[in-house]
Structures are given as C-alpha cells and as structure tokens.
Amino acid sequence: MTKNRKLLDWVEEIRELCKPDSVYWCDGSKEEYDRLMNEMVASGMAIRLDEKKRPNSFAFNSDPSDVARVESRTYIASKKQEDAGPTNNWIDPTELKKTMLDLYDGCMKGRTLYVIPFSMGPVGSPIAKIGIEITDSPYVVTNMHIMTRVGNNVLEVLGENGEFIPCLHSVGAPLAAGQKDSRWPCAPIEEKYIAHFTDENTIWSYGSGYGGNALLGKKCLALRIASNMARHEGWMAEHMLILRMTNPEGKKFHIAAAFPSACGKTNLAMLQSTVEGWNVECIGDDIAWMKIGSEGKLYAINPEAGFFGVAPGTSKESNPMALASVSSNAIFTNVVVTDDNDVWWEDMGTECSGGKDWLNKDWKPGMKDANGKKILGAHPNSRFTAPASQCPVICPDWEDPNGVPIDIFIFGGRRTTTIPLVHEAFNFNHGVYLGATAASEPTAAALDVVQKLRFDPFAMKPFIGYHVSDYIDHWFEMGDKLGDQAPRCFYVNWFRKDEQGKWLWPGFGENSRVLKWMCERVEGKIDAVETPIGLMPCKGDLLLDGLDISSEDYAELMKVDTNLFNKSLDDVGEYFASFGSNISPRLIKELDSLRSRLQ
Ligand code: GTP
Ligand code: SPV
Ligand code: MN
C-alpha cells in the first residue's frame, strides 16, 4: 500500500462521493487478472473463448450506444475558452464540475471501486508519467493491465510525495439493492462526459465503458493531457506509430507515422516487408512521446504496453503479426463469437459458419435485415486488446527507457482522390504544413463524425488538449530546436482509387516499398523529382518489381492534378480561417508558397 497522502486523500474523497460497496487496490498481478475475468464470466459480462484455440482469451459485447469514442461528449475544460481553441468542445470547468459531481454522487452504488496505479512508459523511465485511474468497471481494469504497466512497482516509484495524474472513471450505472446488472452497464449518450481539466491535469470520465472513453491512460492522458504538458515542457505527445526499418547493410531507420483513427497505423507498425533484405520491427502502434536527447536528435518512446486494435480487416494477408499477437491472452470487444467458441470478424480471411454477432444475437454470414442490407457480424469499430510483447516482430528495444532516434515523420489519411501515393516535404516547415493540412474521409472509430472530408491536423484533431494554433506553433518551434537533426517529413496515401472504385495501390506489406524509398532519400542515395506539392520518386526509384500494376494505374496513383489541388486550397484557407487570429504566420506563408507554385 501507498503512503502518498495526496493519493490516499483523493481515493477517500472519491469513495465518499461515488459510494461504492467496496474499495479495491489493484496490484497488476496475473492472479488479479484471472480472478476478475472469472468474476465477469460468472456474471455473464465476459465469454471465455475455447481454451485450445484461444488460450486465456475473452470476448465482450458492449451496449449499442457505447461502441466508440464520442467526440461530441469529449470536453476540454480549461479556465479560459481560448485555451481550448476551435477544434475542441469547451465547457467552463466550474460548471462542468457541478454537473459531473451530481452524476458521480452515488454512481458506484452496488459496485466495487478499483484503484489502478499505472505507468505510461517503462516504470521509472525519465519520459514516463504515472496515472491513477479510479474505475467501477472490471473490464477497464483488465484492459488497463494489458494496455499500461499496472502494479505495486508504480506506487513504489510514486513514493510518498510523487506526482500522479488523477483519472476518474465510472460507467455511470449505479445498482439498487438486489438489482441485476446489465451485460454492459453504461449511461445514455447525453449523460456521457469525457472531461479534461487541463489547468490541473485531471481527467473525469462518466457514462462510457468503451476504448478511449474509459481506458484513460490512452487518448485522455497520453494525448490530450500529455500534449498540453509537452507544449509547456518542450517535448511532443503524438498520435503516431513507431517502427524500425533495417536495410540490407544493417543500417537502422526509425519512423513515426501519424494517420487518423482507423487509417492504418497498426497495420504499418507491424508490416511484413516484401522488399528483399529490408526488415521492419514494431515499437508502438498508436502513440509516441518524443523528447530531444543525445546529439540533439528526437527520441521516441511508446507509452503504452499493449495494442487496442481494429479487428475487422485484420487477416493473415493484411496483418499476420496482429493476428499472431491475439492468439492468446487477448480481449475481444464486439466481434463475432463463433459456434465453436472462437472469434471472427469481417475480412478475417477465414470461413465462419455462424455464431453470436456483436449484439450477442444468433448470426450467420450473409444474413440480411428487413431492407435487404447485409448484417455485419462484428461492429466496424470492434477491437482486440493484446500485450505488445506478444507481437512476433516487436523490436527488442521497444521498452528502452530512452527511446529510439526518429529519422522520418510520415503524415497521411484516407483519400480516394487528389493525393498521390507519396511525396516528400521540401523542408521541415513545409512538413509542418503537410501535417497541419492532413485530411481524411470518415471511419468508424468515432461514433458521431459524419462530414465528408475532415481536416485532421497531425491525426490529432480529436486529441490536441489545447489551441490548435499553439499546437502547430509548437511543431514549428520543435523544428527550430532540432535544426538539421529534425526528422525528414513525408506524406502518404495508401487509399487512392480508380474511377471503378478499385484500390490503385496494394497497400499493407507492399507499403515497405514506399518506406524503402524514404530511407534511401534520408541516406542521400537517390534524387527526387520536384513538383509543386513536394518531392516525388524519380522513375525507377520506387521498386515495383513483382507488382501487378499497369503503367496507367501507376501514373494515376502518382498524379498531381494541379487544378484539383488548387481548388482544395480554398478549403485549406477556409479551414485555417477557423483557427482565429493567432494562427501561425509560418503556416500562412507555406500555404501562400504552395499556391504560387501551383500557378
Ligand atoms: P486506430 O486504432 O483507430 O488508431 O486505427 P489505426 O490507424 O491503427 O488503423 P488500422 O491499422 O487498424 O487500419 C484500419 C483499417 O485500414 C483496416 O480496415 C485496414 O484493413 C485498413 N488498412 C490499413 N492499411 C491499409 C493499406 O495499406 N491499404 C488499404 N487499402 N487499407 C489499409
Ligand atoms: C482511436 O480512435 O484512435 C483509437 C481507439 O486508437 S480509442 O482507444 O478508442 O481511441
Ligand atoms: Mn488511435
């Protein structure tokens, strides 16, 4: 047990407020994990999968109202509204606390209050941060066991006077005496709040049990709160995968890539290179914390300990390493549980004879609803939770407390038109422009995002814990500090389609061809073609051997339609106008230069 007064006082204060039946301090042990899972199986919340096919693994079905992050219920409650900026929902912290204290009052009746001490980053690492999550969800506890480092050693590092980030979570479903619990307790949408008190580094989440809404170490702490701390402390907290690529001579390149939710980070992080002699290892698949370290280079750690990955589309062909990572000790949420008690999802690449769908209803492939629409077995945002250590291509240095030196930044999104497969920024400031104007077509990772194309600067739109203009300035300033040690910046689009709607690029493992081109650019081995939008591969430099891609399709894939691009700049201008008057002059300058290059 801890002697940290602040922690003990906070837990007592929350106990009095939420009125749980009991309080339990988590120790992060396997015994604790097994016991909680057994309890959830007994209560009917969890399904134990076949022990031979999927050892020590469990499936859950959430409530249909609780299947993804809810951006409209996510708040930055800074004292000053201008600190939240135009990309966040702002609420006055005093007002929000009043509303939420009413909701929290007695919200854990009939439940256990769990205290989870966790570390984001290797325990004791100079870049790591300690959080304490209080939750009434045993599902959250078991997921946090996998996604973060939980245990008594965290309390030891915290000591008597150490600082922690308080993360309060409740599913928002108190139980009356004798009331039977639902399989997935949660509150209705309009009572859900995912709140960040950024002036006091505090997180309050209420009403949801799913993903980033409830596993508070992830988006809430490691991105929204951390990005705000990073800005003041001179480091970076980004929505980026981290990988190491090694060339045939054994030279190592470290790449950090920012794609919006459900746009290919987990896939790229575990990529199986199709280029002879080039090898890829995974360091992280979602979040990077980066600090300037030795020789003035930028060093990155993965603050997480597990993967919370999109299940549908994960197959032997697309991402065999993710599939291997979930072969045991995994949690599945909202997938199909097959008749023989294993899991299945759309595009898993195997046959399924039937089972229970993500709503726990009887289901068979090909089933249609009353309107003749195919009923999906797995929810499009169904997820697996698995320990990163189980990934066969996890990099031996993935837990190095000092991190790995980043050579390359990649930005991107899901664009069926306009954006070519790859282009390189002329310099770091141009790279910041590319990151700032990243845009994507919508995916299932957020419940309530419906517009056609959304700008998603640095894939951080839902995760920047402060004003987007200040955030972009911070990027420029990091570039100033890094100087010629700054990573080289690239922009990719794996998702371009032809007029018939067919992918123009095979993607997945074949993306290694694009990474190889980047590494050779960094090494200075090859030139590039200068276009108005950036630097692109010279003929023959992007390895296409063995690919079934016609020269017409390749031309279409790489096409830069200056007219179309020019038109899209009006949208960029309009988007920048929404940033308000403190927009970085350097960003405007980049836009103006691009406009004149396109003339
Ligand atoms: P979050 O966990 O939400 O942050 O998502 P993510 O960025 O990790 O996305 P993920 O790798 O899970 O990919 C999401 C979807 O994109 C899956 O359906 C993939 O099959 C698909 N995808 C990933 N890479 C490629 C690619 O290179 N080409 C194509 N066509 N699809 C891809
Ligand atoms: C994302 O949406 O970017 C995710 C899933 O990684 S969640 O943890 O729910 O935010
Ligand atoms: Mn993500």
The verdict on the CB of residue 217 being under 6 Å from ligand 2 is no
346 located within any domain: no
587: amino acid identity, one letter: L
Asked, for residue 589, whether it belongs to a domain, the answer is yes
Judged on CB neighbours under 10 Å (0-12, 13-18, 19+), 528 is middle
Tell me how many domains the chain contains. 2
Q: Is residue 511 part of a domain?
A: yes
Q: Residue with the nearest Cα to atom 7 of ligand 2?
A: 212
- Give the burial class of 104: count Cβ atoms within 10 A of its Cβ; 0-12 exposed, 13-18 middle, 19 or more buried: buried
CATH code of the domain covering residue 590 = 3.90.228.20
Q: What is the pLDDT of residues 396-436, one digit of tens each?
A: 999 999 999 999 999 999 999 899 999 999 999 999 999 99
74-76 and 89-90: which strand pairing?
A: parallel
Q: What is the dihedral of CA 514, 520, 525, 531, to 10 degrees?
A: 50
Pocket probe for ligand 1: among 143, 243, 310, 323, the residue whose CB has the most ligand atoms within 8 Å is 310
Strand order in the sheet with 343-344: 343-344, 336-338, 355-356, 362-363
Q: Whose CA is nearest to atom 20 of ligand 1?
A: 313
Q: What is the pTM of this model?
A: 0.97
Does residue 69 have its Cβ closer than 6 Å to ligand 2? yes
Do residues 172 and 103 share a domain? yes
Q: Does residue 273 share a domain with residue 212?
A: no
Confidence of residue 294 (pLDDT cuts 50, 70, 90): confident
Answer yes or no: do 471 and 448 share one domain. yes
Active-site annotation, residues: 263
Residues 253 and 124 in one domain: no
CB atoms within 10 A of CB 586: 15
332 in a structural domain:
no
| Ligand nearest to the CA of residue 446, numbered in listed order | 2
pLDDT for 107-145, tens place per residue? 999 999 999 999 999 998 888 999 999 999 999 999 999
Determine, yes or no, domain membership for 506.
yes
DSSP state at residue 71: G
Same-domain status, 178 and 267? no
pLDDT in tens, 197-223: 999 999 999 999 999 999 999 999 999
Q: How far apart are CA 365 and CA 359, in angstroms?
A: 15
The verdict on the CB of residue 307 being under 6 Å from ligand 1 is no
Please give the pLDDT value at position 449: 53
State the distance from the centre of ligand 1 to the C-alpha of 267, rounded, in angstroms. Answer: 6
Residue 150 placed within a domain: yes
Same domain, 250 and 230: no
Task: Give the CATH number, domain containing residue 136.
Answer: 3.40.449.10
188/211 same-domain check: yes
Residue 447 scores a pLDDT above 80? no
The H or E element that residue 282 is part of is strand 279-284
Question: Which of 218, 314, 447 to mutate for ligand 2's pocket (most ligand atoms within 8 Å of CB)?
Answer: 218
Residue 453, pLDDT score: 81
Both 228 and 245 in one domain: the answer is no
pLDDT the model gives residue 30: 98
Share of the chain above pLDDT 70, in %: 98
Q: Judge whether residue 78 has pLDDT over 60.
A: yes
Q: Is the CB of 307 under 6 A from ligand 2?
A: no
User: What was the pLDDT predicted at 498?
Assistant: 92
Is residue 382 within 8 Å of residue 337, measured between CB atoms? Answer: no
pLDDT tens for residues 482-513?
A: 999 999 999 999 999 998 999 999 999 999 99
| pLDDT tens for each residue of 315-334 | 999 999 999 999 999 999 99
128 and 163 Cβ atoms separated by less than 8 Å: no
Is 495 strand, coil or helix?
coil
Residues 127 and 33 in one domain: yes
In this prediction, residues 18-42 reach a mean pLDDT of 98
**In a shared domain, residues 432 and 552:** yes
Residue 145 Cβ < 6 Å to ligand 2: no
In a domain? residue 472: yes
Q: Which of 286, 314, 383, 414 to probe ligand 2 with, by most ligand atoms within 8 A of CB?
A: 286
Rounded mean pLDDT of 8-35? 98
Report yes or no on 25 lying in a domain: yes
> From CA 35, how far away is CA 40, in angstroms rounded?
9
- CB of 508 closer than 6 angstroms to any ligand 2 atom: no
Tens digits of per-residue pLDDT, 355-410? 999 999 999 999 999 999 999 999 999 999 999 999 999 999 999 999 999 999 99
Q: How much distance in Å is there from the Cα of 262 to the middle of ligand 1?
A: 5
> Residue 491 forms beta bridges with which residues?
411, 423
Domain region containing 420 = 240-285+407-598
